[in-house]
Amino acid sequence: MGMTMTQKILAAHAGLKTVVPGQLIEANIDLALANDITGPVAIRELEKAGFTKVWDNTKIALVMDHFTPNKDIKSAEQCLECRQFSAKHNIVNFFDVGQMGIEHALLPEKGLTAPGELIIGADSHTCTYGALGAFSTGVGSTDMAAGMATGKAWFRVPSAIKFNLTGTLPEYVSGKDVILYIIGKIGVDGALYKSMEFCGEGANALTMDDRFTICNMAIEAGAKNGIFPVDEKTMGYITGRVTRPVTVYEADEDAVYDEVINIDLSALRPTIACPHLPENTKPIDEVKGLEIQQSVIGSCTNGRIDDMRIAAAILKGKKVCKTVRTIIIPATQEIYLQCIREGLLEIFVEAGAIVSTPTCGPCLGGHMGILAQGERAISTTNRNFVGRMGHITSEIYLASPAVAAASAITGVITDPAEV
């Protein structure tokens, strides 16, 4: 029986010729990631278990991104704990204020993730790196502690769903719309503990930023990971970033999938996830006209340069609605700089938006955009659970940067083609 991409990566890292779905394995990891929320818990668990050193100080990444710059004393103490641990163990990839970015945009940018690698992170959206043809998945802080100490982790080999993508995306439709459409189709548990493998001519046509967005939200369908085949776009992205040798894995022709789902990208419309689950999706035609009080463009899902460019193209020469707080968050310092170089920040500010330092901020209801009672936001983030961005009566509508920018201008959820 053939293996999927994910199964091949897991087998190689476990030192096995083959693996099958459901099999329990111990595998060597290439990178362990934590942030300012999950890092302190992992550090305490590592020290409680009696470990006095880490497995490899070059293969641990600690990124201060959720509550930084520190919003209160508790967040400052959490970052201090990570800072002291990093100094003690000479952690090479420690990213603090001034160097940090939103972790799942920062690590690929820095060349810390690459095709064929096995990456764990104490954050559920670690599945983002599947865009590069890596196996990456979120783990708990205890597993993170074990990974930092030993360089190993336990896995149950997942089965897979194959998504065969055809066609190309219409104007104003992006990777965010693709993954929202898929989650709406299969549900938030439709890929529970499975690998979501994206392939076909449509997958090849997608930009890297679209692929990062799609893999980022695989967890919102319950998946263990999302993954794309490695092609010339993948190799182009890592050129100049990744200097170590990489291994490219391809699914066997006789690989077994639980199901194959065909999606014609050319038939998709801008898609909105309505409260209070990412699976509650509707085409924009069924939602437009709904009043909003806040628009957020950013996050590990949609804070990359393509996202900034499409938002700027829509906002250029226009003003955001006076009743809409428009918050734009480039995902890394490098993206922020690129926005400056291209004049995008000037467009945002002149339109009446604010631009934040890279941070997870409003996505998890942390800071930089908390919602009051009864308020409604259009957001490019990845979750719209009850109270996710503020008051439990507030509402979050998940959308693409194009929709979020267009809606900021009109004050209501708007089709970007109509602005």
Which pair of structure tokens corresponds to residue 194? 């499975």
Spell out a b/e string for 13-46, using b for 16 or more CB atoms within 10 Å of the CB, else e: bbeeeebebeeebebebbbbbbbbbbbbbbbebb
At which residue do the structure tokens 């259009």 appear? 378
DSSP E strand stretches across 2-134 = 24-28, 31-35, 60-63, 93-95, 118-121
Which pair of structure tokens corresponds to residue 257? 């999938």
- Give the distance, in angstroms, between the CA of residue 298 and the centroid of all CA atoms in the same chain: 11
* Long-range CB contacts (within 8 A, 24+) of 391-394: none
Mean pLDDT, range 367-394, rounded to an integer:
95
**Amino acid symbol at 187:** G
DSSP state of 41: H
The three-class DSSP label of residue 92 is coil
Closest CA to 270 of 378, 172, 396, 186: 172
**Amino acid symbol at 224:** K
pLDDT at 88 over 90: yes
Q: Are 370 and 387 in contact (CB under 8 A)?
A: no
pLDDT tens digits for range 267-287:
999 999 999 999 999 999 999
- At residue 68 the predicted structure's pLDDT band, cuts being 50, 70 and 90, is confident
Beta strands 24-28 and 152-156, pairing class? antiparallel
- Give the distance, in angstroms, between the CA of residue 90 and the centroid of all CA atoms in the same chain: 27
Mean pLDDT, range 370-390, rounded to an integer:
95
pLDDT at 55 over 90: yes
Predicted pLDDT at 84: 97
Give the dihedral of Cα atoms 222, 228, 229, 230; nearest 10 deg: -130
Predicted pLDDT at 143: 94
pLDDT at 100 over 90: no
Positive or negative CA dihedral for 361, 57, 209, 98?
Answer: positive
Mean pLDDT, range 171-184, rounded to an integer:
97
* Long-range CB contacts (within 8 A, 24+) of 333-340: 333/98, 333/99, 333/100, 333/101, 333/358, 334/101, 334/109, 335/101, 335/105, 335/109, 335/303, 335/304, 335/305, 335/308, 338/305, 338/308, 339/305, 339/308, 339/312
Dist. CA 392–CA 73, nearest whole Å: 24
- At residue 376 the predicted structure's pLDDT band, cuts being 50, 70 and 90, is very high
DSSP state of 36: T
Report the DSSP beta bridge partners of residue 288. Answer: none
Mean pLDDT, range 225-251, rounded to an integer:
97
Q: Which domains does the chain have, with CATH numbers?
A: 5-263 (3.30.499.10), 270-418 (3.30.499.10)
- At residue 372 the predicted structure's pLDDT band, cuts being 50, 70 and 90, is very high
Q: HSE, CB side, 13 Å, CA atoms: give it for residue 215.
A: 32
Sheet-wide strand order for 31-35:
93-95, 60-63, 31-35, 118-121, 135-138
Dist. CA 344–CA 103, nearest whole Å: 22
Q: In degrees rounded to 5, what are phi and psi of residue 66? A: -75, -45
Predicted pLDDT at 410: 98
Dist. CA 160–CA 6, nearest whole Å: 8
Dist. CA 107–CA 172, nearest whole Å: 27
pTM summary value? 0.96
pLDDT tens digits for range 314-371:
999 999 999 999 999 999 999 999 999 999 999 999 999 999 999 999 999 999 999 9
Dist. CA 206–CA 203, nearest whole Å: 5
Which pair of structure tokens corresponds to residue 390? 């503020």
H/E element, 80: helix 73-89
